[in-house]
Structure 1
Amino acid sequence: MNTRTIRISLLILLFFPLILNGKNNILSAGDSLFKKEKYYDAKKYYDSLFYNKKMFSYSMLIKMSFIEESLGNFEKSIYYLSFYKKRKANVDVDNSLKKIIVNNNLKSFEGSDYKFFEDKFLVNKYYVIYLLLSISVLIFIYNIYNIYKRKKINYIKSFFTINIFLLIVLNFKNNSSGIISNNNTFIMYNPSSGSDVHSIINKGEKIEITGETDFWYEIMINKERRYIRKKNLLKIN
């Protein structure tokens, strides 16, 4: 390791706690304002963390959803709850999301049984990976021990089956999705302002994203590829 690399590593070690502490201070300031019911002021701190610092806590997402709903921005409330749901299963979040969807008569959330399974699987994907990896490692260690003791090797088929399934799980990905952020949003046939309009959609609806260009998202509408301006969609990363 050269001197320059060592210096960079030391700088990171020195300044990372300070950066993290600064971000925690922003979150604490937002939480303090939220408790005082100064929601609009709290929103500024939360937005700064979420959009500028790319950081969040699960409790912060709940509070951001509450603030946006109280301001009448139900589409942003849906966005934060969906962002939460993509990362962690929570019954209260599911119920809050369903309530907003029903109250605003949103149709795009009426998914299939496969989509329900897919969402549940993705939330628990890393637990499945850890479980399969743990079993695989245990079988491997067990057989190394058997080789050392000159005993019969066992569970070979199980070992390979588990690892094949592990590879499948690791490579399982679904398309991104997004929440429409503006009413009367145009869905276009092609990624061009001069393209014909396919349909008009209102805020709050959920759309599957299959690709993107500089200014457009490629989306799926009724199993057909269409396009929407990026500024009209809140992408759930």
Structure 2
Amino acid sequence: MFQQRSYKEAMEIYQQNYQLGIYSPAMLLKMSFISEGIGDKEHATLYLSKYYDLSPNSQTITKIKSLTGQSNLVGYEVSDGERFILFLVEYQEIIVGSLSLFLLISLIMLWVNGRKIAEARYYWPSVLLIILIFAANNFLRAPRTALITQSPTMIVSKPSAGGELVDRVEPGHRVKIKSSKDIWYEVEWKNKIAYIKKDNVTRL
């Protein structure tokens, strides 16, 4: 539908998939393109920011700056360790599937050769695979991030109206979410802990 320029119909399908957590970098780029085309810069920025999580690159930052009118953006720095985690998260299903296949093969070999195997060391590969599958399913998560979408947004030192003002920012910046406290998110802002109202951001 996108190639046929049926953008409205394509967007409806994309949004349904997005809500289900089913999306690819290519789909996010198309969603951003359509949103920008109808003048919805907020969602265009949102989809581009999500795309950046999957495929960090300088061109995306340049485009987000153009959409938001910002000359400098905070929160888009990605370390090598974070890139590796994002890579693992993107291919999580394939990784878990591959490990499960190896586990199945390992268990079949143990069952076939069970009577011949007396030493415990032969069981360690299966045990290790079980641990890896459990870890990949339960602990492999991308860093929680959010896009600042309200203008202006106040970032404060404490989760209360009396918190000291840390920064006053416009939409387009990103924050890493540490925890949730009532109407506040505890976030990382410029390598420091700060707080921001949930209504001022959109989770990625």
Specify the TM-score bucket, using the shorter chain as the normaliser. Answer: 0.7 to 0.9
- Correspondence 1:5-20 to 2 at 5 A: none
Partner of 1:181: 149
RMSD over aligned CA atoms reads 3.5
Q: State the Cα distance separating 1:166 from its structure 2 match.
A: 2.6
Q: State the Cα distance separating 1:113 from its structure 2 match.
A: 1.5
Q: State the Cα distance separating 1:57 from its structure 2 match.
A: 5.6
Q: State the Cα distance separating 1:95 from its structure 2 match.
A: 7.2
Aligned-partner Cα distance in 2 for 1:73–1:137: 49
| 1:188/1:195 contact within 8 Å kept | yes
- Structure 2 counterpart of 1:205, which letter? H
Q: Which runs of 5+ in 1 are unaligned?
A: 1-27
Q: State the Cα distance separating 1:75 from its structure 2 match.
A: 4.8
Aligned-partner Cα distance in 1 for 2:92–2:164: 40
Q: State the Cα distance separating 1:98 from its structure 2 match.
A: 4.0
SS of equivalent to 2:75: coil
Q: State the Cα distance separating 1:129 from its structure 2 match.
A: 1.3
- Structure 1 counterpart of 2:87, which letter? K
- Correspondence 1:45-124 to 2 at 5 A: 46=12, 49=15, 54-55=19-20, 58=24, 61-70=28-37, 74-84=41-51, 97-101=60-64, 103=66, 104=70, 105-124=72-91
Q: State the Cα distance separating 1:83 from its structure 2 match.
A: 3.4
| 2:144/2:178 contact within 8 Å kept | yes
More helix by share: 1
Aligned-partner Cα distance in 1 for 2:40–2:57: 18
Partner of 1:152: 117
| 2:146/2:203 contact within 8 Å kept | yes
| 1:64/1:77 contact within 8 Å kept | yes
Aligned-partner Cα distance in 2 for 1:72–1:180: 18
Q: Structure 1 residues 185, 50: CA separation in 2 closer, same or farther (over 3 Å shift)? A: farther
| 1:136/1:163 contact within 8 Å kept | yes
Q: Which runs of 5+ in 2 are unaligned?
A: none
Q: Structure 1 residues 84, 65: CA separation in 2 closer, same or farther (over 3 Å shift)? A: same
Q: Structure 1 residues 69, 173: CA separation in 2 closer, same or farther (over 3 Å shift)? A: same
Give % identity. Answer: 23
TM score, norm. by length of structure 2: 0.74
Size of the aligned set, in residue pairs, is 194
Aligned-partner Cα distance in 1 for 2:178–2:46: 18
**CA-to-aligned-CA distance 1:195-226 (integer Å, 9 cap, x gap):** 22111222111211122234222211234332
| 2:14/2:27 contact within 8 Å kept | no
SS of equivalent to 1:226: strand
